[in-house]
Amino acid sequence: MTTAPSTILVLPGALGDAGLGPRLGDWDIAIGAAEAECGFALLDDHLGTLRDAGQLLIRDDAALTLLDPERGMLTQDAGRAERFVADLDDGPVKAALGHVPPLRSLLAGASGRLGRRDLAVTDDEGKTRVRARLTTLRPDDGGPALTVAALQGLRGYDGALDRLRDHLQGAADAAPGAWSRMLMPPGEPYVAKPDIPVAEDDPAWRVATDIIATYLDVARRNEDGIIADHDTEFLHDYRVALRKVRSVLSLFRGVYADDATAGLKAAASGLMAPTGRLRDLDVYLLAREDYFAMLPASLHEGLDLMFCALEKDRRAAHRRMARHLRAAPYRTQMTDLQAALAAGPPKGPLADDAVGDYARGLIWKRYRKVCRIARAIDADTPDEQVHALRIACKKLRYLMEFFAPLVPASALKPVLKPLKRLQDNLGLFNDYSVQQDFLRDFMDRQAPSGDRRDLVLAQSIGALIAVLHERQREERARIMENFARFDGPRIRERARSLFHRKEAQG
């Protein structure tokens, strides 16, 4: 007998044997002996990528089981305790998790005990009409159990599958997307870029305070992940959130009293300061494969020595960062900063201005600054000036994102898209520049070993610096090329019409 497509049902409760049978109309329901229970954990990343896709990933002692709204139930051997999807053995579960961001680790959420039973429905001639695999999850926290029923129809007996499904669905919640939420802990899902409501006539002071408070909360929601060292994206998101806080404080001039602005900026800068070294090391270690690809195999021995040293540095940097985040002074500083925002910073002269015109003025001013810096860049411009353009573009991008609710997305896209492309070029240019400095500093800090390792290391790093220098030169040309597009008449007119309203109307 061949099988027909399967159906997945999610049933609240443990679904005891007594509630399942023994009869389905004039057919018998036979329930197999329960398999030995084992531990389980539900896996998802910090973003809730699986939850948002309506998937539920269960890891038990032997298998990974994925419930997918389109593919049904997929299983493969669990293997070792992998952190990232890329680390999983090839199999149907891994293939169905291709949408999970590669730098995000799979984290254990709810855990508990898991048991499995098989169920079969037979007719009065003893022929099997439909089967089901029942997986019951009992969470450790004492919450309600959940049973997943995977129904397997047999070709030619479609009606039997429908009857069993109807039999079970009375107690089932089969809504796609509800699976993972049933056992996930309560609380707002993490969002790295939360939507912050902004209306045309909102006071600028209130909007600035909302943005800062929101991104301080984003930063705080990454603290535990940094300490636990789940993946590098926790620190990345933490830094981006604090950088946005600093940008608001530096760009929204006149919204807060000068003393308040200076105090808040100093506090935000103080929070950022301890994060740089660890982030730099993360970036280099993430680019390990790229570095090896840059050099011939004959120079890889030196890279092995370098990355061995960087891994050691990174472990030490992470310990320092974790101690910092756990320490009372940091906790107090964060709590005081959030309390100051909740109380409301002293207002400046522009605090009550309607944010619509205020925002357009900020964006137009920043846009013109970007163009002014970029137009002066050529093949001989010092790196510092290109770096200034990168910072100016980043601030322009933040402003456009903060005030995106005030502009139709379709109107903003033609300006934002080429800006992102230009930022990509500027980011690479800066990376190549910073990496060369880092490698020179790394070499300066190495104590001579007195053997051939000194020469091996110097050869590899010298070759890397040469490759990075050439790439930086090529990237400068791309910056000039893409800025020419960004500074074209079409985008210039679009920016003017969106952000320089009075002139556009005149």
Give the pLDDT of the chain (506 residues) as one tens digit per residue: 444 456 887 777 777 777 777 878 788 888 888 899 999 999 999 999 998 898 889 999 889 999 888 888 899 988 777 789 999 999 999 999 999 999 999 999 888 999 999 989 898 888 888 888 899 898 887 777 888 888 887 777 778 888 888 887 665 554 444 444 555 566 778 999 999 999 999 999 999 999 999 999 999 999 999 999 999 999 999 999 999 999 999 999 999 999 999 999 999 999 999 999 999 999 999 999 999 999 999 999 999 999 999 999 999 999 999 999 999 999 999 999 999 999 999 999 999 999 999 999 999 999 999 998 888 888 788 888 888 899 999 999 999 999 999 988 898 988 999 899 999 999 999 989 889 999 999 999 888 878 888 899 999 999 999 999 999 999 988 888 888 888 888 888 888 988 886 544 43
Pair 26, 175 in one domain: yes
Please indicate, yes or no, whether residues 26 and 159 belong to a single structural domain of this protein.
yes
Handedness of CA 228, 229, 231, 235 (dihedral sign): positive
| Residues 172, 247 within the same domain | no
Residues in the chain: 506
Answer yes or no: do 103 and 207 share one domain.
no
> Domain total for the chain?
3
493 in the same domain as 461: yes
**Cα 114 from Cα 36, distance rounded (Å):** 9
How many CB atoms neighbour CB 323 within 10 A?
Answer: 12
In a domain, 193, yes or no: no
pTM: 0.86
Task: Mark whether 334 and 370 lie in a shared domain.
Answer: no
194 is a domain residue: no
Residues near 352 by beta carbon (within 8 Å), at least 6 away in sequence: 203, 204, 205
Other CB atoms within a 10 A radius of the CB of residue 258 amount to 12
Is residue 258 assigned to a domain?
Answer: yes
CATH of residue 465's domain is: 1.40.20.10
Claim to verify: residue 204 and residue 341 sit in the same structural domain? yes
In a shared domain, residues 336 and 456: no
Q: Which of 352, 373, 389 is the last residue of a domain?
A: 352
**Burial degree of 499 (CB within 10 A; 0-12, 13-18, 19+):** buried
CATH number of residue 45's parent domain: 2.40.320
Write down which residue in 155, 183, 211 finishes a domain.
Answer: 183
369 within domain boundaries = yes
Does residue 366 form part of some domain?
yes
Same domain? 226 vs 99: no
| Position 189 in a domain | no
Single out the residue of 36, 18, 16, 69 nearest to residue 180, CA to CA. Answer: 69
**Same domain (yes/no): 380, 306:** no
Q: Do residues 267 and 394 share a domain?
A: no
Q: Indicate if 203 and 303 belong to the same structural domain.
A: yes
Q: Which of 352, 368, 386 is the last residue of a domain?
A: 352
The burial of 155, by beta-carbon neighbours within 10 Å (0-12 exposed, 13-18 middle, 19 or more buried), is given as exposed
1 assigned to some structural domain = no
Residue 134 forms part of a structural domain: yes
CB 416 within 8 A of CB 491: no
Which residues constitute the domain of residue 366?
A: 354-501
